[in-house]
A and B are shown apart, each in its own frame.
Chain A
C-alpha cells in the first residue's frame, strides 16, 4: 500500500520535475483557452511523449490532465466561458463573483478547492484501486441510464431563472445530441448537410454556446462609449482565501465525494461531476437564493468535484483498461504506445513507471495550486483588455480551438451556428449550460437505454432489468428524491416570490435580472 512512497523521489529527478512543471504551467494556460479541453490537450500531447522515457511521457500527460481541468476554470470565472465541459458549473457562481470585483478570490477558491479534491482523488487511486475497480465494473446499461437521468434532473436548476425554460433548453440539447451517425442503431439521423455527418461535437457546441454570445454582447455594450461595465479587481490575501474555503467545508466535502464517485463510473462521463455536486451543494445549503449570484460555495463544490474526478477516472483504467472519463480513454492510447498494458499485472510488471506516474499526479496537484494562485494575480490584466480586442481574440480562439478538436471545418460551422442562435435565445432568458448538459447526457441515456432494452428483452424483462437490484433501486431513489426536492423548493420559492412581487408583474424584466 505504501509502495508509492518508495518511488516518490523519482518524480524529483531534474528532468522529470522539469517536465512536470512545464506540463502544469502549459496545462493551466491551455486549459484556460476556450476550446482546448483536457481530452484534447492530452490527445495532442501524446505524439510528443513518443520519444520520451515512459515515465517522463506519462508525467507530461498526467500533468496536462490535472492542470487543464483546473485551468478551464480561469476563463469560466473571468469570461463566463468554460474551458471544458467539466467547468460549466464553475461559471454559474464564479463569473458573478468576478463581476463583483472578486475575481482573484474566486480564482483562489477554485485552485484551493481543486487541490483538495484532486489530492483526495489521487489518494483514492493509490489506496483503493483494486477494491473499487471491481465495483466500477458492476455498472451496466441500466445503472448508467439512471445516472444520466439523474443528470437530466439537474438540468432544470441550472442558470436561467425559470425551471421550465431550463428544462426546455436541456431537452433541445438532448435532441441536438441525436444528430449524426449512431453506432448502436447503425443509422444516420437528421443528416441534412455533410457538416452534420459526424454529429455535433461536444467541444464545438460548448465553445459556440458559451463564447459566441459573450463575443456578441461584448460588441454591443449597453452604454456607449465606455462599453461593458468594467469591474475592478479587489486584492485578496491567500490566507483569507484559505479561511473562506475551509469555512465552506461542506461544499468541499460534497464536491470531492461526488467527484470521486462519478469519476469511478466508466461511461458516465466525468463532465457531469461538477454540475451534480453544484446542484447537491445548492440543495443542502440553507440560503439557496445566494447561488448563481456569486456564492463561493458554488465555485468550491464545482471545482473540487471536477479535480476529484481525475484520480478515480484512472482506477478502472489502470487495473481493467476501462477508462472512467473521455480523457482517461485518450490516456489509454498514451499508455499503450509505451508498451504499458493496463491490467492486474500492470503494477507488478511496470511498478516503477506506474508509481512514478501516480506520484507525479499527487505532486502535480500541489504545483497546479501554487502556479494557479500565482497566475490569478495577473488575471487583472485579462480584465483590463478593451472588450473589442477581447471579442476579436475570443472569436479567433474559438475558431482555432474548435478546428483543432478533429481537424474539421464542419465543427467550426456548427460552433458558429449554435453560438449565434444562442445569442438570440439568451436575450429571452435561456442559458447555455442546460443545452450543453443535454448534449453530454443524450448519448449516455439513449445508448444505455437501447442496450438495456436489448439485454432485458432476452433476459428478465424491462421492469426487473431497469428497477431490480440494489444499485438500480438506490439510483432510482436518488433520482426521485432529487425531483421531489426540486419541485417542493421551487413551489416554496414561487410562493415567497409571489408574495414579495405582487406589484411587479412584468416578467420580462424579472427574467432579465435573473
Chain B
C-alpha cells in the first residue's frame, strides 16, 4: 500500500504546485478559472487515494526504500545482480539531450544517424566489436535513408538549415 500512499502524496504536492502556478498571474485572472478548477479535482482524487488505504502510520521508514525501488530498483522479479533501470538509462538520457540539442545545429538527419548508431552500439546485449559496430552503422544509414525518403522526398518536410543535412 506504500506505493499508493506515496503516489497520493505526490498527487497532492502536484496539485498544490499547479494551483500556485495558476494563482499568481499578471493578468487575465478569469482565464485561470478552468485550470484551477481542474487542480481542485486533482487534489480531491489524490486525497481519495490517500484516505482509501486504512493505516496512515508506520510507513515513513518505507519511503526511502520505495523511492529507491521506483527510481533505481527492479520492480517485481528480476535479476538482482544487474544494473538498476535508471543507471542503465543514463546513457540514453544523455543521448536524448545531445540529440535534441544538436538536431537543429548540426542537422536533423546527421544527428539522427549518430543517435541511432549510439543507441544500438551502447544497448547491444553482446560485447560491441568493430564488425558489429560497422553493421550498426550500415543499418543506421539505411534507416536514416528511409526516413529521408519518407519525410523529405515524399512529404516535402523542410528540415531546418544547419551545417549538414
A residues apposed to B, CB below 8 Å: 26, 30, 33, 44-45, 47, 164-165, 167-168, 171-172, 174-175, 178, 182, 185-190, 215-216, 219-220, 222-227, 388-389, 391-393, 395-397, 399-400, 403-404, 407, 409, 412-413, 416, 420, 424, 427-429, 446, 449-450, 505-509, 511-512
Contacts and interface: CB of A to CB of B under 8 A. Distances in A.
A347 B119 CA distance: 54
B46 A168 contact: yes
Contacts of B143: 392-393, 396
A165 B49 contact: yes
Nearest to A222: B78
A407 B31 CA distance: 28
- Which 3 interchain pairs have the tightest Cβ spacing? A187-B28, A225-B125, A392-B119
Contacts of B115: 392, 395-396
22 contacts: A45-B155, A164-B49, A168-B49, A185-B30, A186-B28, A189-B35, A190-B21, A190-B35, A219-B89, A220-B85, A222-B79, A395-B116, A396-B116, A409-B160, A412-B100, A420-B96, A424-B70, A429-B3, A449-B34, A508-B4, A511-B3, A511-B4
B3 A507 contact: yes
Contact of B92 (A187, A216, A226): A216
A392 B28 contact: no
Contacts of B129: none
Contacts of B100: 399, 409, 412-413, 416
Interface in B69-102: 70-71, 74-79, 82, 85, 88-89, 92-93, 96, 99-100
A226 B125 contact: yes
Given A44-B157, A168-B45, A509-B76, 18 more contacts: A45-B155, A168-B49, A182-B31, A189-B22, A219-B92, A219-B119, A220-B89, A388-B124, A392-B116, A392-B123, A393-B143, A396-B116, A396-B143, A400-B147, A420-B93, A420-B96, A507-B4, A508-B2
Chain B interface SS verdict (over half): helix
Interface residues of B, number: 73
A400 B89 contact: no
Contacts of A187: 27-28, 31
A190 B93 contact: no
B38 A171 contact: yes
B116 A416 contact: no
Given A224-B79, A404-B157, A416-B100, A219 B41 contact: no
A400 B34 contact: no
Contacts of A175: 18, 35, 38-39, 42
A399 B99 contact: yes
Interface in B12-50: 14, 18, 21-22, 25, 27-28, 30-32, 34-35, 38-39, 41-42, 45-46, 48-49
Given A389-B120, A395-B96, A511-B3, A171 B45 contact: yes
B5 to A, nearest CB: 9
B125 A512 contact: no
A475 B150 CA distance: 43
B82 A164 contact: no
